[in-house]
Structure 1
Amino acid sequence: MERYDILAKATSDTIWDWNLGHNTILYNPGITDTFGYDLDKNEVTLNWWLERLHPEDINTVMESFSEAIEKRTENIQQEYRFLCANGEYKFVLDRAYVLYDQHKNAVRMIGAMQDLSYAKEEENRMTKAIMDAQERERREIGLELHDNVNQILAGTLLSLGMINRVPAEQTPWLVEKSMTYINEAIQEIRTLSHQLAPANFNDISLEEIFRDLLESLSVQKEFTYSLHFARFHEAAISNDIQINLLRILQEQLNNIVKYAQATSVYVSVVCEGNRLTMRTYDDGSGFCYATVKKGIGLANIKKRAEADIIKTIQEKISADAKVKVNIKVETPEKPEIKG
């Protein structure tokens, strides 16, 4: 591994050499410097490595390796979380090269693990900062519309109701027409204000906000809805996560209204252990995630999800469109791993 050690000094990567025949992996000192493991001869079994993959990543990683070997692919690149000796997970970018014998059988794999943790943390911080700025902007615009413009229009409505400077025969029509326009403007501004201003979860529960949102849309767009909200301690969920859940639901309902032509919508929120899951279904035209994943709406959902370590899954099943959001609402105890 001497030549690999020289390479690692230039890249700060952890170099590994996997003997597929013996299922053993040899690491350079990067396994100690980056991940904290003090290994005897820096050689381990494949099971040692598998045990340190994040449970949510292990299937994807192994399927990627298996598919590459089956297709005789030489280069593999993937991201996953790897458990350090101190019990913390680090995001890594793993790039590997597969060697085959004369019979096209994979016999060896050489790779380099790059620590992406700092870059991931910076990305999450940037995403959260952008969303915080958006929430502040929404708050300011919402308050401005509600406290100023709305009150001016309401005062104008009262004034128009007292019109007495036009011929008597025109007064009823003018008053009725003005009141209709102003009432519509007030309703539109009020709706916009509610969408822009961040929800205040101190005075109203997340369930009530969800129900109000569904009720307002169902009346306007003529679809029925069902909301299943399992009882749990909402105070244990941060205000930021609740706001992001609301925004994700708003985005999904907007998509349903614009594109799905649905007649019924089902929303459920369930908390089991340290995992909170929100699901939305509709009976509309559905969508194929592979063909729409570059859309702004789904991009907004994904962006909000990533800021709170939320995993989103979008898929089309028959004619039903579903979006599932899983949230880790508390940090579990870190496993104790000895190198």
Structure 2
Amino acid sequence: MINSTHPLHILVIEDSQSDFYLFNEYLRLTKLPVQTLQHAQSLAEAITLVQDFQPDLIFLDLTLPDSEGAATFTQLHQQASHISIIVLSGLDDKQIALQTITEGAQDYLMKGEFDEKLLTKTIMYSLERKKILQHVVENYERYNTIIKATNDTIWEWNLNDHKITWNDGITNTFGYPASKVQPTTAWHHKNIHPDDRERVLTKIASCLSDGISQWEEEYRYLGADGSYRFVYDRGYILKSEHKPYGMIGAMLDITERKRKQEEQIETQKLITRITIQTQEQERRDIGLELHDNINQILATAKLCVDMAINEEDISKELLYKSYDSISKAINEIRSLSKNLVPPSLGDIGLKEALLEMIENMSVSQGLKIKIRANDPHVESLSNNKKLIIYRIVQEQVNNIVKHARASLAEIELKTDQQFTRLTIKDNGIGFDPRKKGKGIGLHNIMSRVEMQNGEMEIISAPGEGCTLKIVMPL
């Protein structure tokens, strides 16, 4: 409350000089620290003084030369809604004075029926009530601003009459026009997905019975278009003398977040599936290479050794053949190992590793491969990123060798301040990306790119070759 030392600025709107003189005497007897007292005899004069003077308190006579009755208060209140107004009323105006209280006046005094004590009490209480009211209005405006700024659907549930009130979120988020929103718990409960309804209502009932102050739950809620949206709902239980009488809460639409989570799960499943397929394919390739190539070479070497043991006349020639076969087997194993074991990129550099990889691959004589990777920043990439780029190039060059029937392939690798950009282009037979599904090779590439939060683009058409563009953040 305002203390007795607070300097007051008061405006009295009274056309009767005798009534103003009497009021002034009572005001002097109150001993309140009145710093400024202004007097206006008409409403027009008072409105001018309000704008220039900005008083703390206004005393208003309802009968003035230029205005009369409740309209007098209404016009003044429109210009001074932030100021405490106390109505000075005659006996004939008592009902009108009471009406002004409902419209925003802080109090009223009957002329001739108050003294300095009542005047003191009225002034102090009116100022304090106005101060409290202003805080309520400010909080209400702040609350409304927060409600407008949030995407939440705010609800309030009265446990006594089973009524629920909603903010605009029920329209903005779920599409229900105001005329279709029923303020009942039955309507709200009906909109909860049948598979979720029992779980949600059971949890709410449990919180109410166990004295828990708040709850939260995820479930599906029916929209006006007939589709269900995922919501995250949390409620706070309101209590009086430890007895619940209501709840207030907010529903947040998390449909998009759920969709992205499901996409991430599906992507992870795809990556796992491709990884397993890749491992199985690599095992098959290694098995075929060992069985159909290296095993045959070693079998030939063993046969020559067996014959050398039994044929002394040609043993030396057979041993030479065995030597050649064993040498071929060693070279084949070395080549196979290079494809399986990651290169020492930190030692020889990414470009040199790519050149060595292409040199060791079974590239047809009719295919020429060019590499442009002269950007000095390429070698400053992390070893992990270099290895990913190496494997992508290895996979795509294998695709070109096996399927493209190309005579020329170009590999370009460069960086800028934010991204690493890899382009692999060939002049082969091409394909229609919309019709042809991605093989395991392209899926392997895609999974590696996605793990780096990158993007992959395939540009191809029948007879026009293929261009693979990859962009990965540094």
- 1:278-289 equivalences in 2 (<5 Å): 278-289=422-433
2:351 corresponds to which of 198, 207, 214:
207
The residue number in structure 2 matching 1:113 is: 256
Higher relative contact order (CA 8 A, sep 6+): 1
The residue number in structure 2 matching 1:326 is: 471
Offset, 1:308: 1.1
Cα deviations by residue, 1:58-94 (Å, 9 ceiling, x for unpaired): xxxxxxxxxxxxxxxxxxxxxxxxxxxxxxxxxx99x
Q: 2-side partners of 1:223 and 1:113: how far apart?
A: 48
Cα deviations by residue, 1:123-158 (Å, 9 ceiling, x for unpaired): 6777788899989xx9xxx9xxxxxxx9xx99xx8x
SS in structure 1 at match of 2:348: coil
Q: 2-side partners of 1:204 and 1:16: how far apart?
A: 64
SS in structure 1 at match of 2:392: helix
What count of residue pairs does the alignment treat as equivalent?
Answer: 231
**1:248 corresponds to which letter in structure 2?**
I
SS in structure 1 at match of 2:347: coil
Q: 1-side partners of 2:416 and 2:450: how far apart?
A: 20
SS in structure 1 at match of 2:371: strand
Cα deviations by residue, 1:232-268 (Å, 9 ceiling, x for unpaired): 3346533332222222111111111111122221111
| RMSD (Å), alpha carbons | 4.7
Aligned residues of 2:271 and 2:447 also touching (Cα < 8 A):
no
**1:235–1:267 distance in 2 versus 1, CA, 3 Å:** closer
Cα deviations by residue, 1:257-300 (Å, 9 ceiling, x for unpaired): 11112222111101122111111112221222223324222222
The residue number in structure 2 matching 1:193 is: 337
Offset, 1:207: 0.9
- 1:227-306 equivalences in 2 (<5 Å): 227-234=371-378, 236-306=380-450
Cα deviations by residue, 1:16-36 (Å, 9 ceiling, x for unpaired): 99xxxxxxxxxx9x89x9xxx
The residue number in structure 2 matching 1:85 is: none
Q: 2-side partners of 1:324 and 1:273: how far apart?
A: 18
**1:182–1:294 distance in 2 versus 1, CA, 3 Å:** same
Q: 2-side partners of 1:268 and 1:16: how far apart?
A: 53
**2:460 corresponds to which letter in structure 1?**
K
Which structure 2 residue ranges, 5 or more long, are not aligned? Answer: 1-168, 176-187, 193-217, 235-252, 287-293
The residue number in structure 2 matching 1:98 is: none
**1:120–1:238 distance in 2 versus 1, CA, 3 Å:** farther
Q: Are 1:217 and 2:426 counterparts?
A: no
The residue number in structure 2 matching 1:181 is: 325
Q: 2-side partners of 1:120 and 1:235: how far apart?
A: 34
**1:119–1:201 distance in 2 versus 1, CA, 3 Å:** farther
Offset, 1:2: 2.0
Q: 2-side partners of 1:238 and 1:127: how far apart?
A: 26
Q: Are 1:2 and 2:176 counterparts?
A: no
Offset, 1:115: 4.0
Q: 1-side partners of 2:458 and 2:372: how far apart?
A: 20
Q: 2-side partners of 1:256 and 1:235: how far apart?
A: 26
The residue number in structure 2 matching 1:336 is: none
The residue number in structure 2 matching 1:43 is: none
Aligned residues of 1:268 and 1:279 also touching (Cα < 8 A):
yes
Q: 2-side partners of 1:220 and 1:177: how far apart?
A: 28
Aligned residues of 1:12 and 1:114 also touching (Cα < 8 A):
no
Q: Are 1:312 and 2:449 counterparts?
A: no
Offset, 1:177: 2.7
- 1:23-102 equivalences in 2 (<5 Å): none
**1:166–1:230 distance in 2 versus 1, CA, 3 Å:** same
Offset, 1:319: 2.4
Offset, 1:328: 1.1
Greater helix content: 2
Aligned residues of 1:124 and 1:307 also touching (Cα < 8 A):
no
TM-score (norm 2): 0.39
Offset, 1:176: 3.5
Aligned residues of 2:422 and 2:471 also touching (Cα < 8 A):
yes
Q: 1-side partners of 2:426 and 2:454: how far apart?
A: 21
Aligned residues of 1:125 and 1:307 also touching (Cα < 8 A):
no
Q: Which moved more, 1:114-123 or 1:192-201?
A: 114-123
TM-score (norm 1): 0.53
Q: 1-side partners of 2:403 and 2:386: how far apart?
A: 26
